[in-house]
Amino acid sequence: MIYSPGRATQYPTHLEITSIFAMSKQQPEVIAIIPARYESNRFPGKPLALIAGKPMIEHVVERARAVPLLSRVVVATDDERIARCVEGFGGEYVMTRKNHVSGSDRLAEAAEILKISEHDVVVNIQGDQPLFPAEVVQQVAQPLLDDPALPMSTLIYKIIRTEEINDPNHVKTVFDRDFYALYFSRSPIPFQRNPNDTIKPTYYKHLGFYAYRKGFLLSFVALPEGEWERFEKLEQLRALEYGYKIKLVITQHDSIEVDTPEELLRVEQQYLQGT
């Protein structure tokens, strides 16, 4: 069942989502989907870029396959070159449309093609993070396995490098005492009004690993763009604006993303050093 319009409310509330998921007693499967598109403004074709002689997408798939929790690992792509590459190293893939505006949209289409059950958990693994530790997949999915009412979870990391605090490419977040997200921003949050205070805020950045209940994922991508999302260009804000909860998990593992050829070289060096 895809959550459909009902009564006077066009989309289900968190309470309705809770009721629906609480009725499900079957143990969910956890499936990883890796969105991988060829076109990129800063690095076209980066899923096929070589790291120590092996395509980056192969590194990502191999690491995902090493996670015991995952019952399936699938690449969702819009390009035949990536599809042939995945096929060549024995991976599974699905072809998706080229006109998706976000990775979540591509994820949702792939989940439908794969006929994943509504209560199963879909983990979004970024195709440009070839060095992620297997532990982070368990960390991001576990809240949804523990709580059948939870629609979505993601990872955060305590910022150590101070230059990341003011860098808009590193998304910051604040959360309540139960580790549910309150807001995400490209600006430093919290803002320290008195810079002379001896106690400094602790800043956390958002990492690009998500876990969704499949039924919620389809509802999420059907929601209209949120106002805060429009300004910040952060789609997770759409979930908060429409009243859904996002569980945050603090991980000890930072993420290393490849957005440029220069970053590819840095990742390759770390890979060869075994770090």
Task: Write out the residue range of the structural domain in which residue 137 sits.
Answer: 26-272
Structure tokens at 189: 């949050």
* CB burial of residue 62 (10 Å; 0-12, 13-18, 19+): middle
181-201 confidence digits (pLDDT tens): 999 999 999 999 998 898 999
Which DSSP string do the residues of 254-275 spell out, in sequence order?
------SHHHHHHHHHHHHTT-
User: Is 177 among the domain residues?
Assistant: yes
The helix/strand/coil state of 181 is: strand
| 21 found inside a domain | no
The half-sphere exposure of 244 on its side-chain side, counting CA atoms within 13 A, is 25
**CA–CA distance, 37 with 48 (Å, rounded to integer):** 10
Q: What gap in Å lies between CA 258 and CA 215, rounded to an integer?
A: 30
Judge whether 218 lies within some domain: yes
In a domain? residue 231: yes
Helix (H, G, I), strand (E, B), or coil: what is residue 119?
Answer: coil
The answer as to whether 100 is a domain residue is: yes
Provide, rounded to the nearest whole percent, the portion of the chain with pLDDT above 90.
71
Any domain includes 9: no
- Residue 47, phi then psi, degrees to nearest 5: -60, -25
pLDDT at 6: 35
Spatial CA neighbour of 241 closest among 226, 252, 230, 256? 226
- Residues 135-154: pLDDT tens digits? 999 999 999 999 999 999 99
Predicted confidence at residue 5, as pLDDT, reads: 32
- The pLDDT tens digits of the residues spanning 196-247 come to 898 999 999 999 899 999 999 999 999 999 999 999 999 999 999 999 999 9
pTM: predicted TM-score of the whole model, two decimal places: 0.86
Q: Give CA separation, 165 vs 76, 201, 205, 222, in Å.
A: 32, 11, 8, 32
> Residue 54 is part of a domain; what is its CATH number?
3.90.550.10
pLDDT digits (tens, 9 = 90+) for 47-90: 999 999 999 999 999 999 999 999 999 999 999 999 999 999 99
What's the pLDDT at 221?
Answer: 94
Greatest Cα pair distance, the chain, in angstroms, is 58
Domain count, the chain: 1
> Is residue 153 included in any domain, yes or no?
yes
Task: Pick the closest to residue 60 from 272, 271, 234, 260 (CA basis).
Answer: 271
Strand partners, 250: 156
**Higher pLDDT pick, 32 / 261:** 32
16 assigned to some structural domain:
no
What secondary structure letter does DSSP report for 164? G
Structure tokens at 38: 């060829």
